[in-house]
Structure 1
Amino acid sequence: MTFPLELAGRRAIVSGGTKGLGAAVVDILHRNGMRVIATARSVPVEGAADLHYVAADLTTAEGCATAVQAAQSLLGGVDAIVNVLGGSKAPAGGFAVLDDDVWARELALNLMPAVRLDRALLPGMIAQGGGVIVHVSSIQRRLPLPEATTAYAAAKAALSTYSKSLSKEVSPKGVRVVSVAPGWIETEAAVALAERLATETGTDYAGGKEIIMRSLGGIPLGRPAKPAEVADLIAFLISPRAAAITGTEYVIDGGTIPTA
């Protein structure tokens, strides 16, 4: 039995779309026939048919404007916005080392790109009578690690709250808004972290992964999610198969969060 997603011919913009989860999202949407724009600070020279890479720093208003202009000129608007861009470069050391600049950077990376892209592209979605917005949050908003991720977790919590509020405003106008909260994903960056921890502690890659899982309080599934597994969920949420889903957040964390 097939389960077609019915995405062929639809248009999407994916922020942070060249690595990790973003690249996996771009891949599955494009393989299902969508016309896709992927943004990142640095991008491949060219993509496949109906796949465009746009270089833009979405932590700035100017970069978001560049991405929006590309969506309008290359695709004539969008049917889906997938805000994958995020991360943290905050130093370890708890609250005391988080100065105003660190807080500003975390919000600029994890909240404001979504706000700016939505604000610019939503009117077109409303005018055409439909669309879908997916915000990639994080279980960190519910399970922060105070040694290093307080600012990141707070920014992702803000993103989730913004997503819920936006859904209540625009769902009656035909635009669905959902958020996805992954746990640890085995991206290139995660692999590099596990390898570094393995080297520092004299263990192997599997041991490095165990260190990370223990820091999260354990992952009952026994492993991190693969980028493609999270991307599959996002593709389903974008599709007409999820037409009745809006205003909620989907956790995909292998059971890391201990309570519902």
Structure 2
Amino acid sequence: MDPQLEKSDAGDNPTSNTPAMAIAPPGKKGRSKFAWTPERKEFCRLYVQTHNGAESYRRSHGSTDANGRELLYQTLAKRGERLLRHPAIQAEIWSKEGPFWRLFPLSIDGLLAEAAKLTFSNMGDYFDFSGEHITLKKANQITRHQQGAIQHLKVKTRRVKKVIGEDPSGKPIYQETVTQSVDLKLYPKTKSWEMLAKVLGIGSPRDVMETLLEKLPPELRVQVATILLAAMESEEARERSKRKMTVTAN
């Protein structure tokens, strides 16, 4: 936990999924006056590995506030982003990564990994459907790989206190109710299918799926194929519906 960052959380606006920040070449100012704590040094080390401010902050500073309450993902992202803006943090990360890697991090394997990340994303990665109510999973249950498929995430938390009685001294006893509303949008699968098709040099999204399924163990092929076909058919149905609505409007 970083007390300075925790104090500045109030008043922040919710943000979409936070991508890795571009770290500029460091100047000569900033590093000497910066209070280097073990947590901040660990944050820099983790960011070099993950390029994810929220995950690096969670693992270096913890995922709970001073009262022991679990921090929301966007709060972790904001605190990580604020650390990344500090010149001393940027200088430390730059010294570990090197300018060439920061400027030219692309590769074919990286593109394939990004496309596969979007293609195989599922709402079950982010929500728990096992109980009576659908709930958003905790931040530490959503991996960096799964975070990469999120196009937009906004969580609103509402806390309501009401008096439910009095203690023996006459003081009111309060009950707090916490509700959350979640706006989550994943990147479209159709685009990621097209990207895979281009990179692999094969035709339609279904050809891509068949190629990938061949690499799976036989016992998993039927289960994975069923899930992917259902997702593709749902995506295709939505596209047909959009086209129909456009034609009708014209």
TM-score grouping bracket, smaller chain normalisation = under 0.3
Scaled by the length of structure 1, the TM-score of the pair is 0.24
Q: Which has the larger radius of gyration?
A: 2
Higher relative contact order (CA 8 A, sep 6+): 1
Scaled by the length of structure 2, the TM-score of the pair is 0.25
